Chains A and B, each alone.
Chain A
Amino acid sequence: MLEMQGLRGGYGPAQVLNDVSLSVRAGEVTAILGRNGVGKTTLLRGLMGLLPRLSGRVTLAGEALAGLPTHRVARAGIGYVPEGRQIFPELTVTENLAVGQRSPSRLWPAERLFGLLPNLRERQRNAGRSLSGGEQQMLAIARALVTDPRVLLLDEPSQGLAPMVVQELARILRHLAGEGVAVLLVEQNLRLTETVADRIAIMARGTVVHDDTAAGFRAAEDELRHRWLTL
């Protein structure tokens, strides 16, 4: 669904991405692991058209995305759940959702959305700022879903969440993959990643150093963790 080939780029003179190639398939959760600063967040920002410099190829179902402005990338079918959730604090939950709906969502009408994310149903009139961390994360996901994305990018969604909420997050991500969404998950939380991912890639020094099925990752887990993930 989403194909990346030879992505290079960064901020100003600093090259953060150094030849990234990766495929994200529909109906699967693809996870990217890696230490801090290896370029995971930068990769997602690059896909969204938020990097000052990016070269290489990005295609969504064959359609070229690299170089498009951010709003065109979103309209092409990429949903973005950024690091730190970044909900609109002064807008209500309903208004937060409305920002992404240039027309009413076809795939995620209210009933279906609140079926998947029941906590939000009660809080529709509340300001984003008044939500708990877990509710804010659910809102960030809901807000991306109502743009009817074919690909969902999530940047460390488990950060700062209670274990119960992380379990809920895992359920939601599996459900979305089951519905045919291509999910690209950047995480540091190994347990969440192993629970939900179909494929696991590892990034180091701005490139993908390992890319395999979840089963393949588990088979070599000790060595991979030691080499690429632990400090």
Chain B
Amino acid sequence: MDPLALLTLQALNALSLSALLFFISLGLTLIFGIMRVVNFAHGALFMLGAYVGVTAHNASGSFLLSLVAAPLAAGLLGLAFERTALSRLYAREHSAFLLVTFGLALALTEAIRLLWGADARQAELPDALSGIVFVMDEPFPVYRLLLIGAGVLCGLGCWAGLQRTRLGLLLRAASQNPVMTAALGNDVGRVRAFVFALACALAALGGALAAPLLSASLGLGSNVIIDAFVIVMIGGMGSFLGTAAGSLLVGFAQTFGNYYLPELALGMTYVVMIAVLVLRPGGLFGRPE
């Protein structure tokens, strides 16, 4: 194969992986930004999205519908969880929050095992999306291009939402100073609930998009949450642009690492993380706290 074509295809593969990682790490960073805590359940929500997506797709025959059903289910679950459990914990120590989200991750994984069984579920792509296109005379799956597009759209949409809407403004204000945001007449509890639900929905959308590639299996959540943690740290905790940059770095490191240094592939993510954190301890776009 022409080396340039190989490089291009690998770059496209890396971009499509980055897009999937972006869906989960973006929600993680939004939650961290406004609540200053890490949501351990985020991987499980990604996994839930994959299962709900596969089931909705098989039941309805519509792939598009599965991309609506998965984020809707996870978003509602996230909203209910935030209102009933998390909202009581903000005044407490962070460890309480971490333990409760860790508990949710365990409970969700077990619930999925009970509902769907231990076997992996493979989603079949509709014909229109399972084809290939030729990139520099080499075949490339259409679906991976679609993932890249979905990641870019999601990034632009969230960026516009953060910068141009009142809710985005309140989210940014509350991540800097929640007390003053409330003292200016804003219900910060509602902002938090919305952000948490939105972040859960994004993770599940990522899971539903990933299902045709990775298939829905019980290890999916714990695999992907580690990458997402690394991305959020690389980017700088709570930074939107940092999360985008971190997703790209990890996506490229894993894809190219797999190809050129297969014996080191598992470690590539951490090599990148250590390199970034040595040079910039707060992450690429992090603010010193």
Residues of A in contact with B (beta carbons under 8 Å apart)? 48, 50, 52, 69-71, 73-75, 80, 82, 86-91, 95, 98-100, 102, 143-144, 147
How far, in whole Å, are A82 and B178 apart by their CA atoms in the complex?
Answer: 13
B184: interface (CB < 8 Å):
yes
Q: Once the chains bind, are B188 and A91 in contact (CB under 8 Å)?
A: no
Q: Once the chains bind, are B185 and A100 in contact (CB under 8 Å)?
A: yes
B214: interface (CB < 8 Å):
no
Interface SS of A by simple majority: loop
Q: Sort A-B residue pairs by CB-CB distance and give the 4 closest, nearest first.
A: A100-B184, A74-B185, A70-B182, A80-B183
Chain A residue nearest to B188 (CB atoms) is: A71
In the assembled complex, which residues on chain A have CB atoms less than 8 Å from the CB atom of B182?
69-71, 74
Q: Once the chains bind, are A99 and B169 in contact (CB under 8 Å)?
A: yes
A–B Cβ pairs within 8 angstroms, 29 of them: A70-B183, A71-B182, A71-B185, A73-B183, A74-B182, A74-B183, A74-B184, A74-B185, A80-B180, A80-B184, A82-B180, A82-B183, A88-B172, A88-B173, A88-B176, A88-B177, A90-B176, A91-B169, A91-B173, A95-B172, A98-B169, A99-B170, A99-B180, A99-B181, A99-B186, A100-B184, A102-B186, A143-B184, A147-B184
B138: interface (CB < 8 Å):
no
Residues of B in contact with A (beta carbons under 8 Å apart)? 91, 166, 169-170, 172-173, 176-177, 179-188, 287
Interface-central residue, A71, A73, A89, by most chain B CB under 10 Å: A71
Q: Once the chains bind, are A89 and B176 in contact (CB under 8 Å)?
A: yes
Interface SS of B by simple majority: helix
**Chain B nearest CB, measured from A51 CB (Å):** 12
How far, in whole Å, are A147 and B184 apart by their CA atoms in the complex?
Answer: 7
How far, in whole Å, are A75 and B182 apart by their CA atoms in the complex?
Answer: 10
**Chain B nearest CB, measured from A63 CB (Å):** 15
- Which one of A69, A91, A100, A144 lies within 8 Å of B172 (CB-CB)? A91
How far, in whole Å, are A87 and B183 apart by their CA atoms in the complex?
Answer: 12
How far, in whole Å, are A147 and B183 apart by their CA atoms in the complex?
Answer: 10
Chain B residue nearest to A97 (CB atoms) is: B184
Q: Once the chains bind, are B185 and A86 in contact (CB under 8 Å)?
A: no
Using known A-B contacts A99-B173, A102-B186, determine if residue A88 contacts B179 with beta carbons closer than 8 Å. Answer: no
Q: Once the chains bind, are B176 and A71 in contact (CB under 8 Å)?
A: no
In the assembled complex, which residues on chain A have CB atoms less than 8 Å from the CB atom of B186?
71, 99, 102
Besides A74-B183, A90-B287, 4 other A-B contacts (C-beta < 8 A): A50-B179, A86-B179, A88-B180, A100-B184
How far, in whole Å, are A84 and B166 apart by their CA atoms in the complex?
Answer: 26
**Chain A nearest CB, measured from B95 CB (Å):** 18
How far, in whole Å, are A80 and B34 apart by their CA atoms in the complex?
Answer: 22
Chain A residue nearest to B163 (CB atoms) is: A95
How far, in whole Å, are A103 and B162 apart by their CA atoms in the complex?
Answer: 19
In the assembled complex, which residues on chain B have CB atoms less than 8 Å from the CB atom of A50?
179, 183
**Chain B nearest CB, measured from A78 CB (Å):** 9
In the assembled complex, which residues on chain B have CB atoms less than 8 Å from the CB atom of A74?
182-185
In the assembled complex, which residues on chain B have CB atoms less than 8 Å from the CB atom of A99?
169-170, 173, 180-181, 184, 186
